[in-house]
Copies of this chain bind each other. A is one copy, B any other.
């Protein structure tokens, strides 16, 4: 059986990869910001790793990732129902020899409270991903490492 990670993205160049991955990230954060836990988790590979905070264990696999999103929604969001928006920017894509694509980018989270037009801004983060990219355009996150700028 061939997993997406084993299918080479070698035939796709920067011209194709950059917009493809931007479109992928836009859809991925849309799921996250709407707390669609299963849909967000499904943007990772089955064995995807989400290392979202130093000092905590990485989330491994779609079930763990979905559970973390639901847990956040049921605790922090339930107590303080802000609209979160994840912004990614300054994206670099680096096709790897094994058919995956490593990416590096900045991320910023905005939190808007009902009735308050000025969002709370932060944290600012530096993120590194390894993506599985198939020639048909399907993209999945194999692993993500988030480093928040204030935790140094």
Q: Decide if B15 touches A15 in the complex (CB within 8 Å).
A: yes
Residue A52 CB within 8 A of the other chain: no
Q: Decide if B110 touches A108 in the complex (CB within 8 Å).
A: yes
Q: In A23-71, which residues have CB < 8 Å from any B CB?
A: 23, 25-27, 29-30
Residues of chain B with a CB closer than 8 A to A149's CB: 83, 85, 112, 119
| Whole-angstrom CA separation of A23 from B119 in the bound complex | 27
Q: In A79-122, which residues have CB < 8 Å from any B CB?
A: 83, 85-93, 104-106, 108, 110, 112-122
| Whole-angstrom CA separation of A86 from B108 in the bound complex | 12
Most chain B beta carbons < 10 A, residue from A14, A26, A108, A115: A26
Residues of A participating in the B interface, judged by any CB pair closer than 8 Å: 14-20, 22-23, 25-27, 29-30, 83, 85-93, 104-106, 108, 110, 112-124, 126, 137, 148-150, 152
